[in-house]
Amino acid sequence: MTKHDSSNPHSRPAAAQHEEHAPEQELIPVRSVALGLLVMIVIFAALAVFGILKRSHESTVLAKTTEQLALPSVIALPVKPGAALDSFVLPGNVTAYTDSPIYAQATGYLAHWYYDIGAHVSKGALLAVISAPELDQQVAQAQADLITAQTNAKNARVQAQRYQGLVGSAAVSQFDTDTFVTQEAATASAVKSAQANLDRLKALQAYEKIYAPFDGVVTARNVDTGQLITANSTQEIFHMQALSTLRVYTNVPQIYSASVKRGEKIPLTFPEYPGRTFTGTLVRTADAIDPASRTLLVEVDVDNRAGQLLPGAQAQVHFKAAAIGNTFIVPASSLIFRHEGLRIGTVVNGNVAHLVPITIGEDDGATVQVTSGLNAEDKVIQDPPDSLIDGEKVYVEGANAQAGNQPMNQTAGGK
């Protein structure tokens, strides 16, 4: 049996050598597992941090978007400069110089009418006749009562004179004389009363005939033959208007009120006569500014003896005034009506609403001339919401809005 030298490692058995290297080989998998776990922890930590940062960013974006969406959304455009005007045009209402409804003062049936609508009549022309037989009988009765009263008064006067002649000779008593004198005075008063009653009924009887109160045109006939007419009712029998001269009323803005003068000639135009101008005369003003509209009511009279113009029409009244500079044109929809006065919304500091008090001039319905309150650099809010308040933040749209020929770029928050 051969002996192994223990001092020579190469002479050791293979099993012994394997046992010495086993611990070192076991450490290699443990280190690999630890390294893998560390890598996974780092990855999970990075994913967690990334998720947290992503959610924080999304929350910030959501909050910012929500805040922007909560703001009123408006469109703000630069104001359009208007020319310095030395004239202005206002709408005017054309009315007849004299306009009168005609009512009945007698009760009865319409016996006949003589003029229809469009008829030109002179003052005093008979328009219609009312048949009132009951009133006629009252007049006849009043005449008979007057005759009776006159007869009684005459008899009382004779008796009084007779007794006054006899009382001096003591042929009659003073008491009887005083009685007949009193009776004379009473019957004389009865005559006056009967006469007044007869005059009253005759005056009513005169209303059975309806006459034209002035020279003019019959513009309405609201009754026909046989119709029952009631005195003092609101039923209009005829309507008449004097058309030889027409009145044109218009409201001049306060800013121009000092420019209108009585007696000046005022050009008038009418849509039914394109290209033609009529001339009127400013005859009177209200001499007071209407506090509700801040306007001055004026009257322009125009000669219409040719009958070309009609009452009830609308005229364009052309005024001349001192030139006013720095005027701007804005849409009528941008006006804000508040209890404290007329306002326009503008945008300042990029996204802050500012309500500006203004004074308007000419108004054509679609656009309005602003004579004071705005500057050239102002941006006016179009169609402002009713709830808009001064100092409120707004979301400004209109990235393609034009400022003259220059583009005006605006985004939310004025950035």
- 122-135 pLDDT, tens digit each: 999 999 999 998 88
pTM of the model: 0.57
Per-residue confidence (pLDDT) for residue 72, from 0 to 100 = 79
Band the pLDDT of 215: cuts 50, 70, 90.
very high
- 216-238 pLDDT, tens digit each: 999 999 999 999 988 888 889 99
Q: What CATH code is assigned to 89-95+240-323? A: 2.40.30.170
Band the pLDDT of 324: cuts 50, 70, 90.
low
Region of residue 256 (phi > 0: left; psi between -120 and 50: alpha; otherwise: beta)? alpha
**Pair 42, 344: CB distance under 8 Å:** no
How many C-beta neighbours within 10 Å does residue 61 have?
Answer: 10
Alpha-carbon distances, residue 332 vs 108, 336, 382 (angstroms) = 56, 9, 9
Task: With a cut of 50, say whether residue 162 has pLDDT above it.
Answer: yes
- Which 8-state DSSP code applies to residue 326? S
How many C-beta neighbours within 10 Å does residue 299 have?
Answer: 18
Of the CA atoms within 13 Å of residue 375, those in its CB half-sphere come to 6
- 26-80 pLDDT, tens digit each: 556 667 777 777 878 888 788 777 777 777 776 676 666 665 556 778 888 888 8
How many C-beta neighbours within 10 Å does residue 347 have?
Answer: 22
Mean pLDDT for 107-113 is: 93
Mean pLDDT for 364-372 is: 83
Distance, CA of 72 to CA of 82 (rounded, Å):
29
What does the domain layout of the chain look like in residue ranges? Answer: 20-70, 73-82+326-414, 89-95+240-323, 105-218
Per-residue confidence (pLDDT) for residue 400, from 0 to 100 = 38
Q: What CATH code is assigned to 73-82+326-414? A: 2.40.420.20
Distance, CA of 356 to CA of 375 (rounded, Å):
11
Q: What CATH code is assigned to 105-218? A: 1.10.287.470
- 233-289 pLDDT, tens digit each: 888 999 999 999 999 999 998 888 888 899 999 999 999 999 999 999 999 999 999
Distance, CA of 49 to CA of 181 (rounded, Å):
132
- Any bridge partners for residue 98, and if so which? 242
Alpha-carbon distances, residue 124 vs 92, 210, 245, 298 (angstroms) = 32, 9, 20, 32
Per-residue confidence (pLDDT) for residue 399, from 0 to 100 = 41
Band the pLDDT of 13: cuts 50, 70, 90.
low
Mean pLDDT value across the chain: 82
